Amino acid sequence: MNTRVLTGITTTGTPHLGNWAGAIRPAIQASTQPGVDAFFFLADYHALIKCDDPARVARSRLEIAATWLAGGLDTDRATFYRQSDIPEIPELCWLLMCVTGKGLMNRAHAYKASVDQNTAKGVEADDGVTMGLFSYPVLMAADILMFNAHKVPVGRDQVQHIEMTRDIAQRFNHLYGREFFVLPDVVIEEEVATLPGLDGRKMSKSYNNTIPLFEGGARALRAAVSRIVTDSRQPGEAKDADSAHLFTIYRAFASQAESAQLRAQLADGMGWGDAKEALIQRLEQDIAPMRDRYDALISNPGRIEEILQAGAQKARKLAQPAIEALREAVGLRNLTSGPVQAAAGAKKAAKGARFVSFRDDDGSFRFRLLGADGNELLVSGSHADPKAAGALTKRLQQPGVAVVTLDGLAVVASLDGAEVARGAPAADAAAADAQAVQVQDALASLAQ
């Protein structure tokens, strides 16, 4: 069985050297591996959350598509498409929104960061927060679940969204009585290169420290490299390659032998100007052939459009039957098809509480107790071993084993006298008592 891997690229900017080394190149390489079914898409609906400049979004869609194709993406092997060309994705997003608790969205990092910034400014908490920003994780879940991706490579800042996708998928599966969705696993690629920018910080447009990949041609690349900050050591003085971000960039593109040679030359006193020239030549060795392909593609957008439309057709062969099955499951079926036998069972299943496991940002494992309405009742402490967390959820479901108490206004569940999970503090004592009853009822229903 192939492993389906899915990656989205938000279309709000022009790719730079850091994007290529850190995301595009490793993804293209991974797509060539045996047993990998790769899905790459231009996340242009997501772009609308961040950018209200239509010209910028349109240009970015063209540039990013051309970059992936110029970089060698095999579209016969991988599925390459625009998010906005798959109408089943926003439809699935709505189906998922109808089963997703607002409380889950309240905990999303991007939303919380916006609220914190507004609080610091002394303005209304939701000032400037659009529903696109607030519900962004649900659209991301639809992207992933539409094609039942097994693995989703992301940076650490996106781990929470994959865990939310798992929560949403579990909720939908539970409500409608079937395993409609695969629960995706997050993949954090620790060894993927993170390139420093011109000033040594992470290469990012936010810092205005990027080296262009194709934009501006060879002249722009040379001009950017010439601005890389170096120390004050003169030609003839030994230089420490490991403390020079110029060398870090070089090493991301060079072979081990080439890197060893430049390291030795720096130690022998090579001047920074010569080192920058060596970096330019090494970059051009890889980038110049791709740049030629990129320029040809950019000048022929019709060809890119053909490739993306072919990718959309390929993707919709999976999306269309999947959305039909989901429409049937939720009751949006043809009136002549008759009742679905699983409907009664699904309705019964919808009334149950459940445990949901997840992986925290620090890599530890935790679990939540959700009520029948999908609201969070308890959250566990952290566990290094997922099996340990799973063992606790099993014990909590045994009749009469868990002890539910109040710690101030927070509900606490204990096993053998030790706290294993607690709820968020209630607004007042009456609400805390009500929450304790909810927890007790939820655990009692699971024990049955």
Annotated binding-site residue? 231: no
Annotated binding-site residue? 311: no
Annotated binding-site residue? 157: yes
Are the CB atoms for 370 and 104 separated by under 8 Å? no
Annotated binding-site residue? 299: no
Annotated binding-site residue? 156: yes
Residue 134 contacts by C-beta under 8 Å, 6 or more apart in sequence? 105, 108, 111
Annotated binding-site residue? 217: no
Annotated binding-site residue? 205: yes
Annotated binding-site residue? 143: yes
Annotated binding-site residue? 405: no
User: Which residues are documented as binding site for L-tryptophan?
Assistant: 143
User: Which residues are documented as binding site for ATP?
Assistant: 10-12, 18-19, 155-157, 195, 202-206
User: Which residues are documented as binding site?
Assistant: 10-12, 18-19, 143, 155-157, 195, 202-206
